[in-house]
A and B are shown apart, each in its own frame.
Chain A
Amino acid sequence: MNWLRIFRREQADLDVQQEIETFLAEETAENLARGMSPEESRRLARIKFGNPQQIRENLWRQNSLTALDSLWRDLRFAARTLRRTPGFALIAVLVMTFGIGASIAAFTIVRSVLLNPLPFPNPERLVRLYETNHTAETGGTFSEWRTQNQSFSDMGIGGSKSHSLSGSGNELPEDVVGGMFSRSVLHTLGVQPVLGRNFAEDEDRPSANPTVLLSWGLWQRRFGGSPSIVNQTIRLDAKLYTIVGVMPAWFAYPDSTVQLWTPIYYEVRPSVIRAIGNHQFWVIGRLKPGVAEAHAVAELTQISRRIYDQHRDIAFVANSASASPLLESIVGDVKTPLYILLGATACVLFIACLNVANLLVARSAARRKEHSIRMALGGGRLQLLRQHLMESFLLSSAGGGLGLVLANGAIEWVIRARQDMARVEAIRMDGYAAAAAVGLVALCALITGLVSSFNVRGVTLLATPQQSSRANSSGRASVRLRAGLLSLEVGLTMVLLIAAGLLLKSYSKLRSANIGCVTENVLQMVIRLPATRYPKGQVESFFETFLSRVRSLPGIHGAGFIKGGVPADGYGPDDGFVVMGQPELPPDQRLFAIHRWVDPGYFAAIGIPIQRGRTFDRNQQFGHATEVIISESFARRYLTGEDPLGKHLSIADDPPRQIVAVVGDTRFAPGESAKPVMYSQLLTDPAGEPHSATLVVRSDSDVTQFGIPIQRLLWQMDREVPASDILTLNQVVGRSILNVSFDAFLLAAFAGMSLLLAAVGLFGVLTYIAVQRTSEMGIRIALGAQKEHLLKLVLVDGLRPALIGLALGLAASAGLTQLIRSMLYQTEPLDPVVIVVVGSVLLLVAIAACLVPAWRASQLDPMRALRA
């Protein structure tokens, strides 16, 4: 049966009309031939034919699919109804668009980042391996693990190393984030380069010729995607590297900022990568099929324990191993915030549904007369329900369609705004997003449709026309329903507001948290000298000359160099040390502290107070270091009750150096507690290749204006030396808490949106209730009720559900805010200030929303009200 005939009904009808005419003409002609009069002929022909209308109707019905037809009719009816109230339709669609769009976006992000498996073959067998109590692993332990284990099909070790990529021709040199892979990393992950090959065995060793794997992005951007790139050379830190391959476009490990990879055993000196106490690498492994993670970890722990027992004299050797799924190790940090985000959007969606349902309820109550008349004429309840659903279906599909567009924009924005987020490169809209959209549309249609048609059930014949013409409080049940919906809405809004308030407070605390130095008008800039062109002596003179030129710029109040990162720019390197003269500690209790390398002018430049002693002696700055400076908490923790000045430290088994000063504490991230820091003189770091350092300058006024002049100074000295990360210290602080501000402002936006929705809901429903009670008000006024009394009456009507919602939200928040405890800084989940502020804001908005309808009700003219 060809159901498409439904679209040809008009044509079929025209055809049959023509056929009927032909029939009548033929019959008439025959009758004429039989000798009848023309009139008689026509009459008999018509009699013989019967009712032509009926034939047309029969055919029409035959060509129709009844179910589809009535659905179509309902749809058109719903569309007509909505067109009649464009304002209502527009608001409802917008509300739905926002709710559905935000939810699709959040769903897509959560799915892409947290739920989608990593794009490697059998990703469930990939694990990140740890040496217990360390965040980074050692090359020594790795090679023992790799050669002795039975549980893994392969293991790889990697690290990070940035390079200065020289331009060819007119291109500027640029700093690129690089990764170091052992040859086995790609094999462990199960990935092949799309072009070329992995590092060969003899390229992953110290004596090899330099080789490099390019990321797809770098290949496209810098080399125009040329297919003949393999075996060509590029200059990294002024050294020629042969390109052996290009990785696939989707490949991003450890993250999407990495643009090229070099062999780790070539890059890192054997003394570092073979050491069992030097934690600065990551290790991944692929479990053999059928081997449980716990079993594998137990095996590695055994190996680690053996190493530990054999080398009790070396500090920082771990005595056990642990593991986590590779996906978990990548996205673990963003899990809570993303689920919170999803929860928030779900709340907003639910509020949006409730709001639309509320609007529909208000409207359907206004259509009670219409409904009861239709039922009196034989309309079934099911039919009415179907029409209700059809209306909400139309609204939510329009919202869903627009929501997809909105979600697309939102996702693009998130990708741009959060380049730092784990797996951000994996976020994309796909079939699942579309399926989610369809599902959400259906869900919203069902929720709003069913909720709003609850009171259709209550309609009984005749009762309604009678009731609504005279009696004034139409349908207690529907009023109660609406009040209930409102309470729920306000409650959810309260939860969102409290969560957003907590995050915002926590953010502002972080933002203003003292990091131990001046943050206003301080500019930083990372400068990297290519190691091959600048042997040791030249680096020193370059930095010294550059620094003196920068200091001579008018308006600059201080300039200095630091290696390892300014305060708030991360934990950076640390080292073990021994305080000379203190009793020897057992090896597993060796001391360690954050380690930075600075020039004598650094403390003054960035405003870290020197509390005792003096800064480094300028004369011996670039000579052999004999001095060291410690932070306040270092002195407090490791030299308790002693005079630190004059004591000697041996850092990382170097010759002992004398402590010449104690300086103020700094924080490596806003909100962190002060950790012990020791400062060595710039360029005494033995691992300091390539020679990069961060320039810090301070001025009185807008410091950003010095960015260009300083770069020009650098350019005058060497055109091949790039300056990167040119940021004010405030920007550095902002960058390090970007995730916090992002979460806080996003949640605040959602909370604000739901507050607005709740206000609109309150306003709409209260207006409606007030209109419903117009004649009652009229009677009251006629009987002498005061205006203030009426005002209060309507206000209470609206505020009661708001207050109930407030209490509900507060109760729910007590439990739910515990979930975001880990995201809060110096803020308790039930912070009284936040709760009071949020509660009063909500209450004020509720009062404002109720005031207009209440005031209108109190201004009623009794005569007109009674006639209404």
Chain B
Amino acid sequence: MRKGNQADTEMLKGTLDMMVLRTLATGDAHGHTIAKVIERTSEDVLEVEQGSLYPALHRLEDRGWVSSYWGPSENNRKAKFYRLTTAGRKQLGRETTRWRQMARAIGLVMGENVQTDGRVE
């Protein structure tokens, strides 16, 4: 989300947790990597605001969806790595499903050609 773009900010609320979980599904990562991955994968459309990322990570950990451990970063710094837990994997599944339904619904309303699996073309 671009700063100053209110609509993007609004939309991303609640989806950040989901995207973090999705990112961790491919492997353990620390905060910086997670932010980078989200930005790159979204082709730099989404810019992760650090002010939300870290509280989000702690929140996810508090709910038991991710666990954490300290390890060396790529540049050999002490970094806190996050790992998806089983509960987190289930949560990711739930949120993905919900997200697809939502995206399809919005797509329908906007008159786009929507395929049955919810993907927007």
Contact = CB atoms under 8 A, between A and B. Distances in A.
Considering residues B30, B73, B74, B77, which has the most beta carbons from chain A within 10 angstroms of its beta carbon? B77
A19 B57 CA distance: 11
Contact of B51 (A1, A25, A26, A58): A58
Interface in A28-66: 29, 48-51, 54-55, 58-59, 62-63
A15 B54 CA distance: 10
A20 B30 CA distance: 11
B62 to A, nearest CB: 5
Interface in B6-53: 30-33, 35, 49-52
A23 B30 CA distance: 9
Given A26-B73, A27-B32, A29-B75, A18 B58 contact: no
Given A27-B32, A50-B49, 5 more contacts: A1-B62, A22-B31, A22-B80, A58-B54, A59-B54
Given A12-B58, A62-B59, A50 B30 contact: no
28 contacts: A15-B80, A16-B54, A16-B58, A18-B78, A18-B80, A20-B50, A20-B54, A22-B32, A22-B73, A22-B80, A23-B31, A23-B32, A23-B50, A25-B73, A26-B32, A26-B73, A26-B74, A26-B75, A26-B77, A26-B79, A48-B50, A50-B49, A50-B50, A51-B51, A55-B55, A59-B54, A59-B55, A62-B55
Contacts of B49: 50
B85 to A, nearest CB: 14
A58 B55 contact: yes
Contact of A63 (B31, B58, B77): B58
Nearest to A16: B54
A19 B51 contact: no
Contacts of A23: 31-32, 35, 50
Interface of B: 30-33, 35, 49-52, 54-55, 58-59, 62-63, 73-75, 77-80
Contacts of B80: 15, 18-19, 22
A232 interface: no
A112 to B, nearest CB: 48
A22 B59 CA distance: 19
Contact of A2 (B51, B55, B62): B62
B59 A19 contact: no
**What band does the interface of chain A fall in when counting residues whose beta carbon is under 8 Å from B?**
20 to 34
Given A19-B30, A50-B50, A62 B75 contact: no
B55 A1 contact: no
Given A22-B31, A23-B31, A55 B50 contact: yes
A5 interface: yes
A50 B51 contact: yes
Nearest to B56: A62
B77 A22 contact: yes
B58 A55 contact: no
Contacts of B63: 1-2
Contacts of A18: 78, 80
Nearest to A8: B62
Contacts of B33: 26
Contacts of A49: 50
Contacts of B59: 62
Lowest 10 A-B CB distances belong to which pairs?
A: A26-B32, A22-B79, A23-B32, A59-B55, A58-B55, A29-B75, A49-B50, A62-B55, A25-B77, A55-B51
Contacts of A2: 62-63
B47 to A, nearest CB: 9
Contacts of A26: 32-33, 73-75, 77, 79
